[in-house]
């Protein structure tokens, strides 16, 4: 808000000056007047800082719908924190200063508007024009990312301080005024010179409507005038719908082709062919600057012009709310263009608060207007009604229009004729009027009564958003999704988005932030594909590092053991979560069964999860026959595969028995059973002889088939 005091105050303003709103905001002087509000310079007594206070006209104070919408939109605007956005500090309704005062507290900016800069310089060089538009797009990008649309981008809403700092004003207020002023979605609100075609034809807009307006502003910076002008606001709006915006070089030959391309890209009639939002147009702007070899330059500072003026919304030269409403039928006749401005665009007479003086409109000033689509070519009504409405506006309903009507009435014909004829005509007229009334009611119901608009929800707490939808007779369908920057429980956006016209009772899908995404709880043993789906559903990325795989006795090979970081960890969207996969059960060592009996060894091997089998027996100097010498693989070898066959080598060592004194017939069978070859050195007696000597002696370790010699007598 600018630092310029308007000389001369009316009775209502004098009553407000010197008061303190809500016991905190002292009103010191008038900065600017507009059709809908007066902006005062004041002081925040609590923080001891200068402020601009916009006080809405009292005709709105008693409108509960306006106050509610004003508060919602002001809260939304206050959530936009950006260096290039005029800060909204507070809003409220004061009940102590002679009636209800609906007000908005804003940052006080020392300077003027882009309109003031254009008025003083005429046109801007490409370098300066890009440096002006860059912070504007940056501010709009911040709003678009928060789900908000400005709807009224124009030079009057772009502030420039004495130091050349550029700021955008009045986010959200146009919408509040639109909803308060109209009971039908057939009304278009905006500044006609900057309206996107879809705003004219449907009343619906999104971020691409702001892109279009920014493109028109750039055209005006380069050429000194907007691309379309007309005798009436309606004719200008008609051209936005039906004509393409010309290249700036068609008016100023020195404009480079790259600047032409930037303007034409932003102002395409087809909404889907424009850059999707301010961020996309900002990227195009920077590409254009690089193509032209330009650098960012300082924006000329703006000193508030001297003398009383009435300014546009958020103007640093004094801030008019800028929402100037013309009635759709029976509006005031258009004023002639101000020849001093050098711009042919129309101005519109302003309905004023009671007792307020008529504001002086600065040359070249473009006013925000509410226009009926029914009066535009291609509007929802039939052609005859539309043409009649358009003609009524062109003719006006002031003194000049009344004279025209009287003249037409005088030419209708002479009174007279039979009474019956007069009665018949009157009856016919009444019937026709009744039919027209019924058709009008049906048309109203079709075009308005069953429709409503999606309110601005982005940035609201979810309960507040649900209340807003309920007030708009819409149902909320909440979808909770993670978000890096928006706190849990705050609305991200809606579908349809704000401003879209839908049937009452329809569902609106509201995306609510659940805060930073958290790593989900992954059940051990699920497949990597299942785990990936769960993690990606949480807006996180997945990585698998085979070098980090681990053995697990519980999780089969290839399945997921756990995640790194673990479940419940908060991460930013698209952060990476690593899956730790299983290599299967850990390797098991072959048990050491050397020296054990065969049965003991087989039991131990089976207990370890392997399958034992017997290999060829071997002689051992240390292991008795029938016991285990070794295994194959050897003891302590780590085996990863359960059920692996383990070979067992048994000892076939034979211990020489003690047979001295036994009879030969008894010893012969024993030696054969041991697997030895018996050699008998017999002197007398045959098989019944007794053994008197043996070799080798008892206890000697023998191999199967060795000779065992006995002496008998």
Which residues are marked as active site?
Answer: 152
Instruction: Please state, in angstroms and as integers, the Cα–Cα distance from residue 440 to each residue in 200, 325, 444, 670, following that order.
Output: 22, 23, 6, 127
Instruction: Please state, in angstroms and as integers, the Cα–Cα distance from residue 263 to each residue in 117, 123, 270, 293, following that order.
Output: 20, 15, 14, 18
Order across the sheet with 187-191: list the strands. 187-191, 368-372, 323-325
Instruction: Please state, in angstroms and as integers, the Cα–Cα distance from residue 403 to each residue in 19, 159, 287, 389, following that order.
Output: 47, 44, 58, 18
State whether residue 195 is helix, strand or coil: coil
Q: Residue 659, by phi and psi: left (phi above 0), alpha (psi -120 to 50) or beta? A: alpha
With contact defined as beta carbons under 8 Å apart, do 301 and 160 qualify?
yes
Within a 10 A sphere around the Cβ of 533, how many other Cβ atoms?
13
CA distance 273 to 278: 14
Residue 447 is given by DSSP the state I
CA contacts within 13 A on the Cβ side of 34: 29
Query: Strand 368-372 to strand 323-325: parallel, antiparallel, or no bridges (unpaired)?
Result: parallel
CA distance 506 to 495: 11
Q: Of all helices (H) and strands (E), which one includes residue 201? A: helix 197-201
The residue with tokens 């005859």 is 384
Tokens standing for residue 10: 């009316």
CA distance 469 to 457: 9
Q: Which of 296, 7, 5 is nearest to 166 (CA)?
A: 296
State whether residue 292 is helix, strand or coil: helix
What is the full DSSP assignment across 495-545?
A: ESPTT-EEETT-EEEEEEE--S-BPPPPPTT--HHHHHHHHHHTT-EEEE-
CA distance 631 to 592: 8
State whether residue 479 is helix, strand or coil: strand
Q: 3-state secondary structure string, 424-454?
A: HHHHHHHHHHHHHHHHHHHHHHHHHHCEEEC
CA distance 314 to 594: 95
């Amino acid at each position: 808000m600018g630092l310029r005091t308007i000389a001369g105050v009316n009775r209502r303003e004098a009553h407000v000056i010197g008061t303190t709103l809500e016991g905190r905001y002292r009103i010191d002087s008038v900065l600017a007047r507009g059709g809908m509000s007066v902006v005062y310079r004041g002081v925040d007594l609590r923080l001891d800082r200068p402020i601009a206070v916009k006080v809405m006209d009292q005709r709105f104070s008693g409108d509960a719908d306006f106050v509610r919408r004003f508060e919602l939109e002001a809260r939304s605007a206050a959530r936009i924190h950006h260096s290039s956005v005029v800060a909204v500090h507070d809003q409220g309704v004061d009940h102590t200063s002679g009636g209800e005062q609906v007000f908005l507290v804003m940052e006080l900016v020392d300077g003027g508007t882009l309109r003031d800069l254009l008025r003083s310089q005429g046109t801007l060089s490409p370098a300066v024009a890009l440096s002006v538009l860059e912070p504007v797009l940056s501010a709009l990008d911040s709003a678009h990312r928060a789900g908000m649309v400005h709807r009224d981008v124009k030079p009057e809403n772009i502030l420039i301080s004495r130091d050349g700092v550029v700021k955008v004003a009045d986010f959200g207020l146009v919408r509040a005024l639109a909803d308060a002023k109209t009971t039908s979605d057939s009304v278009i609100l905006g500044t006609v010179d900057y309206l996107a075609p879809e705003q004219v034809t449907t009343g619906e807009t999104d971020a691409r409507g702001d892109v279009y307006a920014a493109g028109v502003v750039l055209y005006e910076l380069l050429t000194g005038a907007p691309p379309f002008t007309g005798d009436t606001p309606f004719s200008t709006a008609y051209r936005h719908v039906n004509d393409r915006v010309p290249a700036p070089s068609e008016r100023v030959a020195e404009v480079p082709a790259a600047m032409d391309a930037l303007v034409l890209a932003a102002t395409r009639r087809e909404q889907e062919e424009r850059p999707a939002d301010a961020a996309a147009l900002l990227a195009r702007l920077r590409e254009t600057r690089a193509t032209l070899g330009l650098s960012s330059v300082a924006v000329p500072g703006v000193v508030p012009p001297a003398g009383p003026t009435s300014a546009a919304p958020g103007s640093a030269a004094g801030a008019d709310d800028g929402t100037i409403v013309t009635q759709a039928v029976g509006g005031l006749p258009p004023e002639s263009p101000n020849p001093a401005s050098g711009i042919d665009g129309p101005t519109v007479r302003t309905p004023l608060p009671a007792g307020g003086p008529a504001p002086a409109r600065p040359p070249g000033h473009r006013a925000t207007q509410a226009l009926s689509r029914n009066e535009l070519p291609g509007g929802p009504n039939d052609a005859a009604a539309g043409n009649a409405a358009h003609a009524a506006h062109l003719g006006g309903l002031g003194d000049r229009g009344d004279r025209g009507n009287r003249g037409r009435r005088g030419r209708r014909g002479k009174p007279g004729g039979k009474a019956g004829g007069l009665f018949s005509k009157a009856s016919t007229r009444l019937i026709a009027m009744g039919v027209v009334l019924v058709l009008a009611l049906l048309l109203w119901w079709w075009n308005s009564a069953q429709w409503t608009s999606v309110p601005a929800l982005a940035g609201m707490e979810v309960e507040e958003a649900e209340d807003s939808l309920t007030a708009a007779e819409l149902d909320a369908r909440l979808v909770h999704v993670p978000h890096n920057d928006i706190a849990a429980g705050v609305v991200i956006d809606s579908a349809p988005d704000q401003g879209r016209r839908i049937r009452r009772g329809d569902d609106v899908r509201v995306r609510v932030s659940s805060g930073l995404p958290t790593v989900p709880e992954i059940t051990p043993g699920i497949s990597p594909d299942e785990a990936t789906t769960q993690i990606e559903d949480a807006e996180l990325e997945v990585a698998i590092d085979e070098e980090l795989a681990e053995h697990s006795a519980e999780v089969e090979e290839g399945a997921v053991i756990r995640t790194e970081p673990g479940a419940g960890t908060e991460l930013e969207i698209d952060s990476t979560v690593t899956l730790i996969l299983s290599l299967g059960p850990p390797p098991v060592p072959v048990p050491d069964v050397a020296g054990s009996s065969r049965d003991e060894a087989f039991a131990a091997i089976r207990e370890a999860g392997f399958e034992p089998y017997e290999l060829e027996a071997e002689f051992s100097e240390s292991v008795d026959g029938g016991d285990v010498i070794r295994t194959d693989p050897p003891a302590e070898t780590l085996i990863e595969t359960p059920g692996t066959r383990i070979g067992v080598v048994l000892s076939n060592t034979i211990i020489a028995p003690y047979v001295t004194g036994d009879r030969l017939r008894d010893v012969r069978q024993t030696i054969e059973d041991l697997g030895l070859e018996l050699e008998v050195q017999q002197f007398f007696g045959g098989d019944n002889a007794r053994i008197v000597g043996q070799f080798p002696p008892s206890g000697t370790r023998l191999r199967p088939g060795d000779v065992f010699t006995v002496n008998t007598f």
